[in-house]
Amino acid sequence: MQMRFPPPSPEAQLQFLTKLQRVFAEGDFTATYKFALLIALADLAIECGADDGRELVLTTRQIGERFIALYWKHGLPFSAGFPGSAPGVLVQNKGAQAAVVTAISTFRASCPTTSLAAAASLPGYPQLITAITGTVSAQPLNYLQNFGGGTDEFLYERAGTGRIRLKPGVTYCLRRFYPLVQQLARTHWVDHIKQNGRNQSILGSTDDLEYFLFSSSRQSLAVMAEGLRKLDGAKCFYCGGPMTNADVDHYIPFSLYPRDLAHNFVLAHPSCNRSKSDTLAALPHLERWLTRLDYKRDALAEIGEQAAFQADQMVSRQVGAWAYTSASNAGGNAWLAANEYAPIDHSYAACFE
């Protein structure tokens, strides 16, 4: 007999959101680690979890690896380019520089590549993972659930050495409220850095900080575009028409899942990209995208590695399944072509079975 794991009740979901809001309002944020931890847990809930109420066991190494990906760019100097500002590594702690940033900066200084994917194969990378995982385990994992003068383990608990367990219903809530969790964590992360007085000489009056912290470089996107053009030809993924100019589009919109995954990129007419915007694509596009994932999996992975993007076909499929299931449950519509939309029903999620 298969065990059922019912999703949390509406009251439990509301309680989750209330406590999450209290973490931001009443928690002590001396560094940016807690924001990174919330983003990491939400990402892993999408990639490893399911839309039911079951628990989810994660390793601290998984979280440590996600921290390296989140902070990888932050180990480089930020340059605002304004008069009176000077390039520098942004301070992400109220005291000494955050240990994660220092460890990544030190590693990058001795690293012959700027690509995280390439750096992962270097001899010193396992030591970096060990150091970052130790910091994550000792600090944000111990203190994230401290707020309002006490401790409330509403998100997770320790599950033996090197593991945590997301409590029943938490994975479901992180998946359902994923865009909100991301927005809250990223907004507070940016504000935390801006409010640190030691960053003022670096930041000046810049408004480009969020792009630096969370977006991929234009150079990486250019490498991805060149590779996709060679792989797929100079034609739009959506309408099939020939292209002179092309946009690199996130098939699953970046606004829904703000991570750059190699298998999620397609080339599109700028007009098709603008028309689709932040909407999921309709069934004919989805079927073609999934077929492409299967038949061009290795080629897309190779292009992604060259462009310094994470390349994992199964992660992209998992993200896609979550996105379409969530949209179906919410009664959403999918983009077919300019000014043409179709309701998202159960047939979309069935494509992933």
Summarize the confidence of residues 55-75 as an average pLDDT: 96
252 Cβ neighbours under 8 A, 6+ residues apart: 264, 280, 316, 319, 320, 323
Q: Is the pLDDT of residue 205 over 80?
A: no
200 Cβ neighbours under 8 A, 6+ residues apart: none
pLDDT at 95: 86
Beta carbons of 321 and 51 less than 8 angstroms apart: no
Q: Is the pLDDT of residue 135 over 70?
A: yes
pLDDT at 222: 92
* 101-123 per-position pLDDT tens digit: 999 999 999 888 778 888 888 99
Give the predicted TM-score (pTM) of the model: 0.90
Q: Where are the chain's structural domains?
A: 10-214, 218-350
* Structural tokens at position 60: 């601290």
